[in-house]
Amino acid sequence: MDGTERVNVKMGGFVRVVQKEDQHSGKLTEGVVKDILTKSKNHPHGIKVRLESGIVGRVKEIL
């Protein structure tokens, strides 16, 4: 599913995100969505979320 559409990202969902410092390398981090931080319906670089681990990043893949 597409991580650029807010409607696709669910609290408690399992996702892969890219953190700000990993944008150049493209390294993805897996986790469970705790909070959805992006307020708009969509974002071209992915919806920003906070994972249960505390990591903040933009959703690249929804698992």
- For 9-39, how does the pLDDT look when each residue is reduced to its tens digit (9 = 90+)? 999 999 999 999 999 999 999 999 999 999 9
Encoding tokens for residue 32? 């469970």
Which CATH number applies to 6-62: 1.20.120, 2.60.40, 1.25.40, 2.30.30?
2.30.30
Domain boundaries, the chain: 6-62
Non-local (6+) Cβ contacts of 43 within 8 A are 4, 6, 58
pTM, two decimal places: 0.92
Q: Report how far apart the first and last C-alpha atoms of the chain are (Å, whole number).
A: 8
Q: Compute the mean pLDDT over every residue in the chain, rounded to the nearest whole number.
A: 96
Is the distance from CB of 1 to CB of 7 less than 8 angstroms?
no
